[in-house]
């Protein structure tokens, strides 16, 4: 049978304190915060949170009202109101000028500058040139389309000047007048480097262009040039991207255009097949203006 363990011995009550225990100073105890101070702090923070919540709620409400008012605005209505305001201002100015015995058109023309007049005349000239005179032949349609695409083309003048500089430099040894060719090449190079668009790049063409055309058929192309089929030529990524955008634009425009008449689901079915439908449309174009009243009477049931 195991023997029970003896109880732990307690230190004697008369044991003297060690010098370390007697000499160690006690750390000062912080006073415990009062319950009223804690409650006041919590109440202040709660009040601040309530204030922030009220401000956020007011801002959200203002944004909701602004968004709702914006959704009710009609852009076409705003444009119409702006146009009406301009017409009213113009009418007021015209009435005031007539009351004072002045010529309104003369007063209005005095507001335009010379540049404004020139731009307006150029715009009218371009509009007259683009006027559609009706279909003549497919060659005229193709020429019109080509002119429109050329007008939309934005050439890179700086790159063109650099290519011309290289072409003139290659043609200088082959020219009949090397001095004039060298001068023209140097002038083109200086203009390309300085960005001077007022430089006359054709000032040395009489001595340079014949040799340049023979030396660089890729730049100075003629009607018989085959440089466009050079397999070593690679277009730049910007040019490829521009071509892709132009093709997509043409496809989108071509997809919206169709001479096929849209099918009206609400129209009355007065035919038994497509041939009969076309015949009925021809009859309607010829006689509907005479039979509209009779047809309306039949539909109302008031025909005699």
| Domain parsing of the chain, residue ranges | 48-120, 156-224
Q: What is the pTM of this model?
A: 0.35
Measure Cα distances from 214 to 10, 168, 265 in Å: 121, 11, 67
Tens of pLDDT, residue by residue over 170-188, are 766 655 555 555 555 555 5
Length of the chain: 304
Which is more confidently placed, 225 or 63?
63
pLDDT tens column, 148-173: 888 888 888 888 888 888 877 776 66
Kindly calculate the radius of gyration of the chain based on its CA atoms and give it in whole angstroms.
46
From 268, 264, 272, 262, select the one nearest 295 (Cα to Cα): 268
Sign, CA torsion 148/153/157/161: negative
Instruction: Please give the pLDDT value at position 214.
Output: 55
């Amino acid at each position: 049978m195991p023997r029970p363990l003896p109880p732990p011995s307690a230190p004697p009550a008369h044991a003297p304190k060690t010098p370390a225990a007697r000499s160690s100073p006690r750390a000062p105890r912080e006073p415990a915060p009062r319950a009223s101070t804690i409650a006041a702090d919590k109440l202040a923070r709660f009040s601040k949170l309530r204030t922030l919540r009220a401000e956020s709620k007011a801002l959200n409400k203002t944004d909701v009202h602004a968004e709702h008012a914006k959704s009710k605005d009609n852009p076409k209505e705003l444009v119409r109101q702006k146009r009406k305001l301009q017409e009213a201002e113009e009418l007021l100015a015209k009435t005031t000028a007539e009351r004072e015995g002045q010529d309104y058109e003369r007063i209005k023309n005095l507001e335009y500058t010379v540049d404004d007049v020139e731009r307006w005349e150029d715009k009218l000239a371009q509009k007259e040139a683009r006027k559609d005179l009706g279909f003549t032949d497919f060659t005229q349609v193709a020429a019109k389309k080509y002119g429109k695409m050329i007008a939309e083309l934005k050439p890179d003048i700086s790159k063109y000047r650099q290519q011309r500089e290289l072409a003139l430099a290659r043609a200088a040894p082959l020219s009949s007048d090397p001095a004039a060719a060298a001068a023209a090449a140097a002038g083109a190079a200086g203009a390309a480097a300085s960005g001077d668009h007022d430089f006359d790049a054709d000032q040395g063409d009489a001595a340079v262009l014949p040799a340049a055309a023979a030396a660089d058929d890729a730049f100075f192309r003629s009607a018989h040039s085959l440089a466009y089929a050079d397999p070593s030529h690679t277009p730049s990524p910007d040019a490829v991207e521009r071509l892709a955008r132009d093709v997509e634009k043409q496809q989108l425009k071509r997809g919206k255009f169709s001479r096929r008449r849209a099918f009206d689901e609400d129209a009355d079915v007065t035919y038994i097949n497509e041939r009969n439908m076309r015949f009925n449309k021809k009859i309607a174009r010829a006689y509907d203006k005479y039979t509209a009243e009779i047809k309306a009477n039949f539909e109302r049931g008031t025909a005699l």
